[in-house]
Structure 1
Amino acid sequence: MTTSAITTIQDQAPVRITPGGRLLTAAEFQQLAEVPAEAEWFANLTNTQTRRAYEHAVKDFMRFTGITRADEFRGVTRAHVIAWRDELAARGLGGGTIRHRLASLASLFQYLCNRNAVTHNPVKGVQRPRSESGEGKTPALGDHQARQLLDAPQDHSVRGKRDRAILSTLLFHALRRAELSKLKVKDFRHARKGVLHLKVSGKGGKTRYLPLHPATSRLITDYLDAAGHGADDVGALFRPVRNNRTGDLCQAITPDGVYKLVRGYSGALGFEIGAHALRATAATNALDHRADIAKVQEWLGHANIATTRIYDHRLTRPEDSPTFKVVY
């Protein structure tokens, strides 16, 4: 954490215990007993992306209110939260960003409520910006653009084979870039009822198994044969082909690396997009071709079907409008 205020709270988090004959010394036991609930909440966030997002939101709130100590959160009222919400709007932040920051703060106060550190959650009841629409803002590619992107890596080098396999995995399985980065070699070799499945570690530690598209299976196999790490079952599936910083090519390609890969190929084709657009493309395509929306929800790893409906454009197609049903 970067600011002194946040660092103060982080410093009060549970200590790391050095292995020994006794797991906790008397001093360590007392130190853990005195950890503030606010620090417990932050230490309990295990997902890296969630931790980063919540940290950013709480840091912003602390900067706005001038909070420097963990126990000062207990004096926060709904008026403080409303003033912060209005200040975020005055900065020109979008409704989605404001809703997310309020949700982050609400998570902290819900934890404090559960610990009886505060009597109520001051974020509860604060009016949140409405969603601009029921449709997502992430662009989805047309079928011809998706085919162009799949064919974009032209060379037969290890990089070209890897990039074709990555693009196919994203477009046929709708993975988040972080999910793709976490794939192990063994994760594309799970057989269920005679069909190869992709084992995906999703948000919140949830695992889902997706039938592996035959074209993707061939491309991954081709890549592993060229890269030479197909026997390393527990190693990263997709790896960098060059690492100027450490020279280590055994680590997984990073989510940022996946983003830049998609950005590079799509930009060269004239429609620069990020990796999440391929997830939107796969979901939209599946729904347009009459996939059951409940199955698509499970496929995407969405906790709420309302999130999946963002990708469902079947009711917004102009040709289906009642306008074209009117006959005089």
Structure 2
Amino acid sequence: MADLPELIHETLPEVLPPAGRLLSAEAYQRLAEVPPEIEWFANLGSKATRRAYENALQDFRRFTGITQPEEFRTVTRAHVIAWREDLLQRALSGQTIRHRLAALSSLFEYLCDRNAVTHNPVKGVKRPPVESYEGKTPAIGDHQARQLLDAPDAGTLKGKRDRAILATLLYHALRRDELCRLKVKDYKQERRGVAHLKVSGKGGKTRYVPLHPAAGGWVAEYLESSGHGAEEGGALFRPLHHSRPGGIAKSITPDGIYKIVRCYSAALGFEIGAHALRATAATNALDHQADIAKVQEWLGHANIATTRIYDRRKTRPEDSPTFKVAY
């Protein structure tokens, strides 16, 4: 069974003409005949979303035996329920099952918009309950955050870069992908006289985050040592072999960020991933009475319910009625 990228390759014209040239009649006709199922997938902008949705749709196709895009139009709610039961029997987490059903639902919403189907068969299918509204990603303590910032060797280019990366994550609550997309010019933004980071978030949304002075100082120190501070269109954080002027202005990868956080935290005795630094920043801001609506905007969340996952003030042990009991 061909996977989705193979189907796209088979369906779309193999060679599009260079910019400035008209489509050939053959290419035009082939584009006009592209099934909406292929359009939907090809139109997904985020690589992470494409990867997640591809995994979900491939799983559904394997379960149902679908081999051609048009066969999705014969899917009924009964097919979706049977798939959900199969996912449950495989002991996948409730969150994973909800995400897979959401991916399939996204396809059918598009097909409805294109009048390819009359309804979305995923609607009305019961989804596993949310296990907890509290985030599962651990947030580290203030003393651990300080240890992490002090861990890199500030006498080396690698240490300066890593400290600047850790500070940017801890002080601004960025996602890994957002940090990797930062350009040098994004670090040099100014709004109302205050230095800002220009952050390209999920769904192509842009937000401006005030630059914390400590993080800004460490980023400036890194750029001074690396020498690529004048390359405004180049990546802000780069692999070491791309950090010299005139090199390839390629960004460090999200996997590279993960490994940096993992390495330093493991050496300190509390091994965590990069997302834990986002959770730490959000939790810390809320613990210090930041307005939750402002934190939502700061994090780039579309829904404030997602932000509430990081609000652990109601679950702090020191606030428990246990400690109010006196005999």
- TM-score under structure 2 length normalisation: 0.95
1:101-120 Cα distance to aligned partner (Å, 9 max, x none)? 10000000110111111111
Q: Which residue of 2 aligns with 1:298?
A: 297
Question: 1:231 Cα shift?
Answer: 0.6
Please report the RMSD computed on the Cα atoms of aligned residues, expressed in angstroms.
1.7
1:12 Cα deviation (Å)? 4.9
Structure 2 CA distance for partners of 1:283 and 1:71, relative to 1, 3 Å: same
Matched, 1:140 2:149: no
Gaps of 5+ in 1: none
Q: 1:109 to 1:12 in 2, by over 3 A?
A: farther
> Could you say which residue in structure 1 is the equivalent of 2:109?
110
Deviations 1:78-136 (A, max 9, x none): 11111111111111211111100100000001101111111111111110011111101
Deviations 1:149-180 (A, max 9, x none): 01110241110100000000000000000000
Q: Distance in 2 between matches of 1:179 and 1:8?
A: 29
2-side partners of 1:214 and 1:296: how far apart?
Answer: 19
1:200 and 1:21 map into 2 onto residues whose CA distance is 32
CA contact (8 A) 1:5 1:67 kept: no
Q: 1:187 to 1:22 in 2, by over 3 A?
A: closer
Q: Alignment partner for residue 4 of structure 1, among 2, 10, 26?
A: 2
Tell me the secondary structure at the aligned position of residue 199 of structure 2. strand
CA contact (8 A) 1:296 1:308 kept: yes
Deviation at 1:224, TM superposition (A): 0.6
Structure 2: runs of 5+ lacking an equivalent: none
Structure 2 residue 268 is the aligned partner of structure 1 residue 269: yes
Deviation at 1:22, TM superposition (A): 4.7
1:96-107 matched pairs, under 5 angstroms: 96-107=95-106
Name segments (4+ residues, structure 1) moved above 6 Å.
none
* 1:224-257 Cα shifts (integer Å, max 9, x gaps): 11101011010000000147xxxx6531000110
Is the contact made by 2:170 and 2:278 (CA closer than 8 Å) also made in structure 1? yes
**Shift in Å at residue 321 of structure 1?**
2.8
2:148 is the counterpart of 1:149: yes
TM-score (norm 1): 0.94
> What corresponds to 1:313 in structure 2?
312
CA offset at residue 326 of structure 1?
5.0
CA distance in 2, matches of 1:222, 1:12: 50
User: CA–CA distance in 2 between the matches of 1:257 and 1:136?
Assistant: 24
Mapped to 1, the partners of 2:11 and 2:100 lie a distance apart of 22
Paired residue type of 1:210: V
Change (3 A) 1:79 1:147: same
What corresponds to 1:52 in structure 2?
51
Q: Displacement of 1:320 after TM fit?
A: 2.1
In 2: Cα distance, 1:5 partner to 1:285 partner: 43
- Identify the residue that residue 40 of structure 1 maps to in structure 2: 39
Counterpart of 2:164 in structure 1 is 165
1:252 maps to amino acid: S
1:221 equivalent in structure 2? 220
AA at the equivalent of 2:231: D
- One-letter amino acid of the counterpart of residue 255, structure 2: D
CA distance in 2, matches of 1:53, 1:303: 19
Q: How many angstroms does 1:30 deviate by?
A: 1.2
Q: Are the equivalent residues in 2 in contact too, given 1:239–1:252 (CA < 8 A)?
A: yes
Is the CA contact 1:183–1:237 (under 8 Å) kept in the aligned structure 2? yes
Q: Is the alpha carbon distance of 1:121 and 1:185 closer, same or farther for their aligned partners in structure 2, counting shifts above 3 Å?
A: same
Which range moves more in the overlay, 18-27 or 189-198?
18-27
- The equivalent of 1:128 in structure 2 is 127
